[in-house]
Amino acid sequence: MISKNLNPQQLEAVRKIDGPVMIIAGPGSGKTRVITERIAFLLKNGVEPKNILALTFTNKAANEMKKRVFKLTNSEQSFRLWMGTFHSVFAKILRTEGYKLNYSENFSIYDNDDSIKIIRRIIKDKNLDKDDYNPRFIHAKISILKNRLIDCKKYSTNDEFLENDKIRNQEEFLDIYKEYSEFCFKSNSMDFDDLLINTHKLFQNYTDICEKYQDIFRYIMIDEYQDTNLVQDSIVQQLSYKHKNICIVGDDSQSIYSFRGANINNILRFKSVFKETTEFKLEQNYRSTKNIVNVANTLIKNNFQKIDKTIFSNNETGEEVDIIEYYNDRDEGQKTAEIINSIKLSSNNLNQIAILYRNNSQSKSFEDALRKLGIGYKIFGGLSFYQRKEIKDIIAYLRLIVNNNDEESLLRIINYPTRGIGSTTVQKLRDFAKKNDKTIWKALSRDLNNINISSGAKNKLSEFTNVLRKLFDMQNDNVFNIAQNLETEIGIVKRLSLDDSDENLNKLQNISELFNSLKLFSLKEYNNSLRDFINEISLDETKDENEISNKVNLMTIHQSKGLEFSYVFVTGLENGIFPSARSVKNKSGIEEERRLLYVAITRASKKIKISYCQNRFQFGTIQSTEKSLFLDELKDCTNFVYKNEYQEQRTEGNSYTKRRSFYREKTSISFPSSLKRVKYTNYKDDRGLIEGMKINHNIFGKGLILSVDENHGNEKIKVMFDNFGKKILLTKFAKFEIIK
């Protein structure tokens, strides 16, 4: 019997079991209920559990659906369904049929860490530079290629791929890909991506096997279809070709995983692939207030690549959506924490609060502010700021400057960045120090010639020692100056800037946040030494947050998908951050960023605050920002309130703050007037940069230099970028080329 709690659209979608069905389920529309009710309806109408295939993207979702189906049917039939993730179901098939591809049934499955370790070993055996061949980046690249059905053979015949490898200084990539694939096969092992591509290969090359499973899976249901990639979509078409009883559930407006290979076209073109598709739209949102839903609709209507639908809510009107302007990101963190503190005082329901951001690097200002107010928080899907590898690496240098005998820190950075000091050399160094009852630093600085290592190794250790000596001599200097000199000596930012992968860009953003923190710390009137800074963050690291069970949720918007909260803060709505700098290069990128904001807005049930900053710290210097183009799209919406929360600050000498606040009800956002003409001079710095020169920045794109400011080695340029407005860049860190 079908539940009486279904609305008419949900009921129709449940009852339509034959033929291709597409269910477009908006946020908070009860799609999980529809899926489980539909499966229960199939079972109650005589369909055998073994003939039903239900695919999800997480084990949690699959288990939840099984429990719900069991509750609806009061039958253990639910546990005989073919229900699980793509990977778990396909692994089960390959255990039985994998012999066709020369795998035994006991093949191993490598997780991501296993795969990365194998790739790391291959890179090491080839004596390749780990900066050029980052194992995680190489693994991610291989994964993307596999999910696009590009094997080594196809890769080797693609001239564009090979040319790009030359440009990135990764000419050995193809050999690594081959060795990795061969290693897995010889080891009778598959990684997660192999489970997909080998299933596809099995069905494509062995029609008898494909027909066998076509007859087994007479009814197919797939959740979150907008997140499927090329391989998954192809397998689904293979399996459903005979009976065509396929039902997909998803929301094109929540397609946000293209970086993982997800293809929104899979859901957009579904009706053209399956000509007799019956479409249902679940448009009633049971989660959010009317105001939240209306703002979300106003935003997403600007996308061209979409399935038309109008989400609505019969819930209360609710409070208007706040769009708040802050002076800078520190101000944003502080004021957000203060608002959360007021919520805490009234309801103490912290687990119903979420702070969402585009990049993990943005978490720091919120972490700092929440800690100061004694508000517990938890980081989703990532490490706390000071636990991130690139941050721990730099902190290790700073700890070593404070305490030369900190061996753990020394061993961490002795070969970071890569300087050719291998594990054998390090072990001999450690053995010598232990035998002679010395610290490693003393052994390095005083007895290097007495250590039984090659002359080449001694030279490399000597260079490393000289770097440390220079850094140690600066321990009493301003903490920000120390950080700048550290970068000059080791060039971490410079190395990471050579590769514009997502991973490296995230690392650069995190390092930039650390520099910002050091800059602000250096401006304190007292207790602002490097030792004080190390002490402060060490206390933060060792704080036992397990004592607090009720915590604020901090996460990227991607990590928030599928979740809901009473109060949501969506932060950093500035061009270059949200939308990201990379996304503005094409229309599809902008549309995915808009869908991402749509997801963020629809996580909220009661109240949402959207914020942006006038200025943002980057590598210790404050740079003006431009509010997100998405806010411009909301300017005619009447369901939000625009607020300004300024904190005017002096950036030199003793910090001084003055706050002024004002509030305007139901007003559209006012945007900058047309730009004034700039009179250019012929001022020229030592490196040939002049006002009026055109450049191409690795993140912001093309721009025109408005002014050049030479300041004792800290040259700055003001640039008007085509897509991001005015930016102030510190030239020693900025990565750009001059356009001739």
Catalytic center residues:
31-32, 223-224, 254, 603
Position 332, amino acid: E
Q: What DSSP letter does each residue of 165-183 carry, written as one string? A: HHHTT-TTHHHHHHHHHHH
Cα–Cα dist 576/557, whole Å: 16
Please report, for residues 256, 283, 535, 590, the alpha-carbon distance to residue 303 in angstroms, rounded to integers and kept in the order given.
13, 18, 49, 9
What's the rounded Cα separation, in Å, for the pair 281 and 270?
A: 14
- For 442-503, give the DSSP string: HHHHH-GGGS-S-HHHHHHHHHHHHHHHHHHTTTTS-HHHHHHHHHHHH-HHHHHTT---HH
**HSE-CB of 477 using CA atoms within 13 angstroms:** 16
DSSP-assigned letter for residue 690: B
Contact between residue 479 and residue 521 where contact means Cβ atoms under 8 Å apart:
yes
Q: Give the separation between CA 699 and CA 196, rounded to whole angstroms.
A: 34
d(CA 462, CA 449) in angstroms, rounded, equals 10
Residues 646/659, Cβ–Cβ less than 8 Å: yes
End-to-end CA distance of the chain: 73
Identity of the residue numbered 180: Y
Q: How many CA atoms lie within 13 A of 584 on its CB side?
A: 20
Q: Helices 135-147 and 192-205 meet at what angle, rounded to 10? A: 20
Could you tell me which residues come within 8 angstroms of residue 56 by beta carbon, excluding any fewer than 6 positions away? 62, 65, 83, 84, 85, 223, 224
